[in-house]
């Protein structure tokens, strides 16, 4: 089989790290390089990539277009896993990918399923890239993954899973807790992506990958059954989610550089889309035209939320974003 030359942006990040593992696990199919910005080229995480056999290509996405085009020479597939705040840096990359003849551009989706047009600010930023891709007639695949298991669990009263929680005392149930939502283990994004980018059926398509479809009431019940603990519940009604979302968006208009309000506003959007509107479901994904990765790759068994939670109880969980204090940014009521 001819190897695909894959270039990954974001290999030192959470989503990109999972994708990197998925690609490196299939060396017969992929030759892997990482796109790194000049300011990060000397980071120890980048040196770790080199030790794992990854070639490094350094480029400044804010620099000259021809330099970005040059950094894509010989690349078949370009995968973008850039942090939530950096989406628009992909505009230059998409233009460069067209010029360089990239055969498949995977923009940075990797989020929940939601429609464009005012539901989620993050989804609307991603939409700018998707629209540019289509104007360019650039071959693409958009991959969404639901919400990670790793950020979908409440904490337990004993505190025994606090070590893996991004935010502590997370006991909120949103809008009655009955809305089903797609979930994926962060570690399974990579194996899904490796399958999707080899597959001609997914070219110029949206694909959704997920392990479970659970509502918050089911997650709390499952965790109580497995842990033997009773989790306190703080109910957040739909009206409160809508009010909070409007308030934080209004504040952002006057304080666009307020990082805490921006992060909280992104979280408001997620709660509104997932739990008030109910966007993040297989049925709505199908309606929007997504292919279902579970149907495409029935042989692949992603980790269930139950299995993930069993690992957490055994002390084997890993907290995402270890260097970031997201709890300090999240302004919950
Ligand atoms: N589905 C979910 O539950 C969920 C959860 C979180 C995020 N997401 C989605 O996943 C996507 C990726 O987010 P993440 O949180 O996984 O990312 P992350 O951990 O914050 O990592 C971001 C990566 O992008 C790189 N990067 C940022 N700006 C760059 C630039 N200008 N040039 C080159 N590299 C740059 C960073 O490299 P450096 O080493 O240089 O910093 C890092 O490798 C987001 O867009 C978000 O929508 C989804």
Segments making up each domain of the chain, as ranges: 4-143+185-208, 148-184+212-285+298-329
Query: Do residues 40 and 13 make contact, with C-beta atoms less than 8 angstroms apart?
Result: no
pLDDT value for 134: 98
Ligand 1 near 83 CB (within 6 A):
yes
Q: How confident is the model at residue 329 (pLDDT cuts 50, 70, 90)?
A: confident
Distance CA 214, CA 146 (A): 11
Ligand 1 near 16 CB (within 6 A):
yes
Q: For a pocket test of ligand 1, which of 11, 49, 84 has the largest count of ligand atoms closer than 8 A to its C-beta?
A: 84
- The fold of 4-143+185-208 is Rossmann fold (3.40.50)
Ligand 1 near 18 CB (within 6 A):
no
Q: For a pocket test of ligand 1, which of 110, 184, 207 has the largest count of ligand atoms closer than 8 A to its C-beta?
A: 110
Q: How confident is the model at residue 328 (pLDDT cuts 50, 70, 90)?
A: confident
pLDDT tens column, 183-240: 999 999 999 999 999 999 999 999 999 999 999 999 999 999 999 999 999 999 999 9
Catalytic residue numbers read 126
pLDDT value for 323: 84
- The fold of 148-184+212-285+298-329 is UDP-galactose 4-epimerase; domain 1 (3.90.25)
pLDDT value for 1: 73
Query: What contacts 24+ positions apart, CB below 8 Å, involve 127-136?
Result: 128/87, 128/88, 128/91, 129/87, 129/88, 129/90, 129/91, 129/94, 132/91, 132/94, 132/95, 133/94, 133/105, 133/107, 136/94, 136/95, 136/98
Phi, psi of 9 (to 5 degrees): -95, 125
pLDDT value for 327: 73
Ligand 1 near 40 CB (within 6 A):
yes
Ligand 1 geometric centre to CA of 143 (Å)? 15
Ligand 1 near 13 CB (within 6 A):
yes
Q: How confident is the model at residue 169 (pLDDT cuts 50, 70, 90)?
A: confident
Question: Is the fold of 4-143+185-208 the same as that of 148-184+212-285+298-329?
Answer: no
CA of 148, closest atom in ligand 1: 3
pLDDT tens column, 5-14: 999 999 999 9
Q: How confident is the model at residue 330 (pLDDT cuts 50, 70, 90)?
A: confident
Query: What contacts 24+ positions apart, CB below 8 Å, involve 83-89?
Result: 83/10, 83/13, 84/122, 84/266, 85/262, 87/122, 87/125, 87/126, 87/128, 87/129, 88/125, 88/128, 88/129, 89/61, 89/62
Name the nearest CA neighbour of 143 among 103, 101, 194, 95.
194
Ligand 1 geometric centre to CA of 81 (Å)? 5
């Amino acid at each position: 089989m001819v190897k695909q030359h894959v270039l990954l942006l974001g290999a030192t990040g959470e989503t990109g790290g999972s994708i990197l593992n998925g690609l490196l696990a299939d060396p017969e199919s992929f030759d892997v390089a990482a796109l790194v910005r000049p300011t990060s080229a000397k980071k120890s995480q980048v040196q770790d990539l080199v030790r794992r056999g990854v070639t490094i290509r350094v480029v400044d996405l804010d620099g000259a277009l021809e330099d970005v085009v040059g950094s894509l020479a010989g690349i078949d597939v370009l995968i973008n896993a850039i942090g939530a705040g950096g989406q628009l840096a992909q505009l230059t990359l998409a233009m460069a990918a067209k010029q360089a003849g990239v055969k498949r551009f995977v923009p940075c989706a990797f989020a929940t399923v939601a429609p464009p047009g005012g539901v989620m600010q993050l989804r609307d930023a991603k939409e700018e890239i998707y629209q540019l891709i289509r104007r360019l007639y650039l071959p693409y695949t958009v991959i969404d993954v639901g919400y990670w298991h790793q950020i979908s669990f409440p904490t337990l009263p004993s505190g025994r899973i606090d070590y893996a929680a991004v935010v502590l005392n997370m006991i909120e149930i949103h809008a009655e807790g009955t809305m089903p939502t797609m979930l994926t283990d962060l570690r399974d994004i990579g194996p899904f992506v490796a399958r999707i980018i080899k597959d001609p059926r997914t070219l110029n398509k949206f694909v959704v990958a997920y392990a479970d479809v659970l509502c918050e009431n089911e997650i709390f019940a499952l965790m109580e059954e497995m842990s033997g603990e009773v989790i306190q519940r703080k109910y957040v009604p739909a009206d409160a989610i809508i009010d909070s979302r409007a308030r934080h968006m209004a504040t952002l208009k006057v304080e666009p550089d307020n990082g805490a309000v921006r992060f909280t506003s992104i979280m408001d959007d997620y709660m509104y889309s997932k739990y008030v509107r109910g966007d993040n479901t297989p049925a709505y994904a199908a309606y929007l035209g997504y292919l279902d990765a579970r149907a495409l790759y029935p042989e692949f068994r992603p980790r269930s939320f139950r299995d993930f939670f069993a690992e957490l109880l055994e002390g084997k969980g890993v907290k995402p974003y270890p260097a970031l204090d997201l709890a300090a940014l999240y302004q919950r009521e």
